[in-house]
Structures are given as structure tokens and as C-alpha cells.
């Protein structure tokens, strides 16, 4: 592209990097990763892995002779000393290895005339090889689906809401309050990180790992899949429960001004009560921006369509994947068993000595098939006493032939008018709508519905109310259209009061929401 600097496919050059230090770090090329995709990566990668394994065994320096012997022993028999020297030098230029001269006294004339180098792996090389080792190993599923983390997070957030909602005292009480607030905020942040990282690692490990479905006990494998699906389903239910409680709590924070007071308190604590790790003075504006990003991330994660919704959807998808794998295994094993049965039956037919034996075998193996071309019916009868049905006299049953193909041509009957049935259906529908309108009118007496203690006589009406509350919570303006066409606005509870919604089949406990109703067309 004209006007852009050309530098081997890179758009930015080092002299045109942005002046911001963070952008300079992000746009700088990582030359230490070149060995992973270079032309001779099949030689560079074994060398780097050899250095990494020796480093983990506390052998920090290696010679070119050590590398040459290792690569020849692992399959590269044609590897030459010249290639080894060239590869090590290239890795040193990329920053994956460092080289220093061996200062010990030479033992041979060749060592005296030729410089002997000791190579060691750099921190970048260690980090890359450690990451590759973890990705290649796979292993058992990492992380966990600990529902207790959500409950503990709710307790920390509830404590933060209480501390930020109260007036800040002075003196020793104020100092104790800000210490408690910092401990609650630090614990909430740690739990929030654990919920996301451990659940993501666990679900990713389940998708990545797999058992050998072709070997082992199939019954044990299916039992494992069933337990795993139950475990994931229980986690989804717990997410729904604790997630809704936390979402209701955080939804009231902006109205009470808690995010701003929380950020201010945390910034004050860091600036006056927490020493800097490097001894240099902290930047108050930078600390404030960091806490603002943390609070915004927390609020955004629990909003409709946020990280909580994504985690629930990923868990449900993982359940579907587990069920599909189990079903596929059952179908595969069933097909294998059926094939084996047919092979045994074919061998049995092949061993028959006469056609009569083959007919008798066919009668035993296939004689229970249902007749396809005849149909009929007979009166029911009973067997008295301890007699046998085989000793009863024969009975005559009239069998009717089954005709295939198109039916006999003839004149079709006249179509009867359907107006009366349609009128009855319309009247029934209008009656149903009138009953529903009366029910909604009785619920919204005075134009509002307080969920302090609501009782309905129809479970279907209870489900409609819960669906209406869910749509209001998902809407940015907290409004939704009711089944009768009226517009309903939801008001969140100002305190921790709980409500009840009772139906003939049970009671639902939920926050004490208040619904305000506007007539349809108003």
C-alpha cells in the first residue's frame, strides 16, 4: 500500500512506534518467538526443548557437543557439527539462548585454538517452552466448577454494599471501616477472577480432553458421562440462583452511588495505607482508573448478555457435547454388536447340513417377525385355571388383504361447511381472552403489583408473571409488554426485602419487585 512503510510485511517500524510506553511494548516484535515458525523449526524446537528440560533439572549451561549428541541420539543421525553451531548461533541472535566463553583451562590443543562456548536458555525461552509443554500435555481437566465461589462473592459484595452505603465515621472507627472495605474488595476481586478462570479452564479442558471410547469398560464410560452431565447441570442451576441474587444486588449500586464511593475509598486506602512495591510514589489518577476498570468489569459481567450469560451458555453447550458423545458411543457399540450377531447367524446357516435344517433355524431366529401383508382381528379369550394356551382349540380369524398402491378411483364426498366450528373456536378464544384480562385486572389493582405476597390460582399465570419479570430485567428501561397488551414497568427493591409468588403447585421466593401497569393503547 502506497504511503505505508515497508519492512518485511510489518506496517510499523521501530522509529515510528507510538510514543506511549504501553503501545511501544505491544507493537514491538517478539523476535524470541521466531524459532517456532522458522524454516528450520524442526531443528530449533528440539534444541530449545532440550535446554528447557536441562534447565528444569538445574543444569543451566550446555555445550555444542551436548546438543549435537542429544539430537543425534533422538533421531537426527545426519546432524553435523557445523549445523549445530549455526543453529545455536541463530538462537542466540533471536534472544532464545545466551553464549559465554568457557573460562576453564583448556584440556586439548583444539580447545585452546578454538573458543569453547557455554550456552544457556533465556527467560523468554523458558516461558515459551513452559507454555508449549502445558498446551501439549493436556492432562486432566484443570480448574473447577465450585458453586461456593458464587456464594462467597455474594457475601463480599453484600458487605461492600453495606459499608459503602453507610456514612463514613471519623477517627479509629473510620480507619477500621476502610480496612474492612479493602479486605472485602480484595476478596471479592480474587473470587471474581477465580470464578471466570477456573470455570473457563475446566470447560476448555473437557472440550480438549477425551477418553478412549474404543477401549475400556463402556458401562463405566457411560456412567462417567452421566455423572459429568449431572455435575454440569447442577452448576448451571447454581449459576442461575446465585447469579440472579448478585445481579439484583449490583443493579441497585448505580442508583445509590456505590461504585463512585467504592473507587474513592480504594484509591484512598492505596495512597495512604499501602506502601508502593518499588518504593516510588504512586500515581493517584492511574490507581483510580485501575479500580474504575475493575468495578466496571464486575458490573458488566453480571449484566444481561454479559460474562455470566456466556458462562451459562458455554456450560449448557458442554452438557450437549457430553450427551452427544455418549449417544454416539451407544450407537457405535450397538452397530458393532448387531454386526457380530449377524456374523454368528451367517456362520450358523453355513453349518446347516440340509435345507430343512436351514428352514428350522430361520423359523427360530426370524420367526417372530410381524406379518406385513395381512391384517385381521379376533375376539379376546382367557385361559381358565392352570391350563395352557397351546391346548386350546383353534380359532378362525378373518384376515383382510392389504392393498398397496393408489386407492380405487371414486367420487369424493362433499366438504361440509366449517363455519360453525370456526365460530365456536372464535367464541372460545374470546372467552379465554376476557378471563385473562379479568385476571390481569385483579392482579394489578390500583395499577401496580407488589410481590410482597402474591397468590395466583393458575400455575400458567405464575409462569407468565415470572416471564414478564425476566423480560423487564433484560430491558434497558425495565419495561416489557404483558400478555394482555399493556405496558409494564419494573421497579427494583430498594432494600433486601424478599417476596413470594404462590401458586397451587408451589411457592417461588424472589426479590420484592414492584410492577407498574399502563393500559394498552394509553
pLDDT for res 46: 92
User: Helix, strand, coil % (nearest 5) of the chain?
Assistant: 60, 10, 30
Going by their DSSP bridges, the two strands 506-511 and 374-376 should be labelled as: unpaired
pLDDT for res 2: 39
Across 167-181, 257-271, 372-386, the highest mean pLDDT is recorded for: 257-271
CA dihedral 133, 134, 136, 139 (to 10 degrees): 130
- How many Cβ atoms are within 10 Å of 27's Cβ, its own excluded? 15
pLDDT for res 385: 54
* Structure-block grid coordinates of residue 261: 464511593
Average pLDDT over residues 126-151: 75
pLDDT(243) > 90: no
Q: What angle do CA 87, 94, 7 make, to 5 degrees?
A: 120
Q: By C-alpha distance, which of 204, 230, 195, 192 is closest to 314?
A: 204
Q: What is the pTM of this model?
A: 0.45
Per cent of the chain over pLDDT 70 is 76
pLDDT for res 383: 56
Q: What separation in angstroms does the CA of 245 have from each of 150, 278, 468?
A: 10, 40, 18
pLDDT bin (cut points 50, 70, 90) of residue 199 is confident
β-pair partners for 498: 511
pLDDT for res 471: 87
Going by their DSSP bridges, the two strands 97-101 and 117-121 should be labelled as: antiparallel
Q: What separation in angstroms does the CA of 281 have from each of 21, 275, 284?
A: 19, 9, 9
Q: By C-alpha distance, which of 13, 126, 131, 107 is closest to 60?
A: 126
Q: For 390-497, list the strands marked E by DSSP.
A: 399-401, 448-450, 454-455, 479-481, 487-491
Tell me the backbone φ, ψ of residue 350, rounded to 5 degrees.
Answer: -65, -25
pLDDT(4) > 60: no
Q: What separation in angstroms does the CA of 439 have from each of 149, 327, 362, 487?
A: 41, 45, 67, 16
pLDDT for res 140: 46
pLDDT bin (cut points 50, 70, 90) of residue 231 is confident
Report the range of poorest mean pLDDT among 301-305, 374-378, 382-386: 382-386
pLDDT(213) > 60: no
Query: pLDDT by residue (tens digit) across 73-91?
Result: 888 888 898 999 999 999 9
Report the range of poorest mean pLDDT among 24-28, 62-66, 197-201, 445-449: 24-28
Yes or no: say if 425 and 470 are a contact pair by the CB < 8 Å rule. no
* Structure-block grid coordinates of residue 114: 578454538
pLDDT bin (cut points 50, 70, 90) of residue 7 is very low
Q: Average pLDDT over the chain, rounded to whole?
A: 78
CA dist 72 and 74 (Å) reads 6
* Structure-block grid coordinates of residue 16: 515510528
Q: By C-alpha distance, which of 231, 228, 209 is closest to 141?
A: 209
Amino acid at each position: 500500500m502506497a504511503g505505508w512503510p515497508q519492512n518485511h510485511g510489518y506496517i510499523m517500524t521501530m522509529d515510528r512506534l507510538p510514543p506511549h510506553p504501553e503501545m511501544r511494548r505491544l507493537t514491538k516484535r517478539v523476535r524470541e518467538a521466531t524459532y517456532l515458525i522458522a524454516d528450520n523449526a524442526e531443528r530449533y524446537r528440539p534444541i530449545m526443548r532440550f535446554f528447557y528440560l536441562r534447565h528444569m533439572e538445574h543444569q543451566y549451561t550446555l555445550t555444542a557437543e551436548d546438543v549435537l549428541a542429544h539430537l543425534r541420539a533422538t533421531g537426527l543421525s545426519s546432524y553435523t557439527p557445523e549445523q549445530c553451531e549455526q543453529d545455536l548461533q541463530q538462537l542466540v541472535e533471536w534472544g532464545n539462548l545466551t553464549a559465554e566463553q568457557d573460562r576453564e583451562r583448556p584440556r586439548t590443543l583444539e580447545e585452546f585454538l578454538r573458543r569453547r562456548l557455554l550456552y544457556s536458555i533465556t527467560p523468554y525461552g523458558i516461558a515459551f517452552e513452559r507454555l508449549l509443554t502445558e498446551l501439549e500435555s493436556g492432562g486432566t481437566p484443570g480448574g473447577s466448577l465450585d458453586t461456593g465461589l458464587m456464594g462467597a462473592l455474594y457475601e463480599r459484595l453484600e458487605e461492600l454494599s453495606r459499608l459503602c452505603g453507610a456514612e463514613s465515621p471519623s477517627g479509629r472507627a473510620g480507619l477500621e471501616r476502610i480496612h474492612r472495605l479493602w479486605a472485602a474488595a480484595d476478596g471479592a476481586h480474587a473470587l471474581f477472577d477465580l470464578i471466570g478462570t477456573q470455570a473457563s479452564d475446566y470447560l476448555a479442558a473437557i472440550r480438549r480432553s477425551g477418553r478412549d471410547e474404543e477401549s475400556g469398560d463402556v458401562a463405566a464410560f457411560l456412567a462417567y458421562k452421566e455423572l459429568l452431565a449431572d455435575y454440569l447441570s447442577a452448576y448451571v442451576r447454581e449459576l442461575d440462583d446465585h447469579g440472579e441474587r448478585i445481579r439484583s444486588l449490583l443493579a441497585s449500586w448505580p442508583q445509590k452511588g456505590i461504585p463512585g464511593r467504592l473507587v474513592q475509598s480504594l484509591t484512598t486506602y492505596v495512597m495512604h495505607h499501602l506502601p508502593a512495591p518499588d518504593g516510588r510514589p504512586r500515581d493517584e489518577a492511574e490507581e483510580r482508573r485501575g479500580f474504575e476498570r475493575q468495578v466496571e468489569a464486575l458490573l458488566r459481567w453480571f449484566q444481561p448478555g454479559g460474562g455470566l450469560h456466556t458462562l451459562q451458555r458455554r456450560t449448557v453447550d458442554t452438557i450437549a457435547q457430553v450427551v452427544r458423545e455418549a449417544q454416539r458411543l451407544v450407537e457405535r457399540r450397538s452397530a458393532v454388536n448387531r454386526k457380530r450377531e449377524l456374523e454368528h447367524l451367517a456362520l450358523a446357516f453355513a453349518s446347516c447340513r440340509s435345507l430343512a435344517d436351514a428352514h428350522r433355524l430361520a423359523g427360530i431366529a426370524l420367526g417372530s417377525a410381524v406379518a406385513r401383508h395381512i391384517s385381521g382381528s379376533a375376539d379376546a379369550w382367557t385361559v381358565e385355571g392352570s391350563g395352557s394356551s397351546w391346548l386350546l382349540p383353534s380359532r378362525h380369524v378373518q384376515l383382510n388383504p392389504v392393498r398397496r398402491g393408489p386407492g380405487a378411483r371414486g367420487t369424493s364426498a362433499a366438504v361440509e361447511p366449517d363455519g360453525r366450528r370456526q365460530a365456536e373456536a372464535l367464541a372460545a378464544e374470546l372467552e379465554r381472552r376476557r378471563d385473562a384480562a379479568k385476571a390481569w385486572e385483579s392482579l394489578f389493582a390500583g395499577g401496580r403489583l407488589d410481590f410482597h405476597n402474591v397468590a395466583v390460582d393458575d400455575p400458567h399465570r405464575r409462569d407468565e408473571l415470572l416471564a414478564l419479570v425476566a423480560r423487564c430485567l433484560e430491558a434497558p428501561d425495565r419495561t416489557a409488554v404483558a400478555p394482555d397488551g399493556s405496558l409494564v414497568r419494573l421497579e427494583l427493591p430498594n432494600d433486601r426485602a424478599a417476596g413470594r409468588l404462590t401458586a397451587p403447585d408451589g411457592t417461588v421466593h424472589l426479590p420484592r419487585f414492584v410492577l407498574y401497569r399502563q393500559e394498552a393503547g394509553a
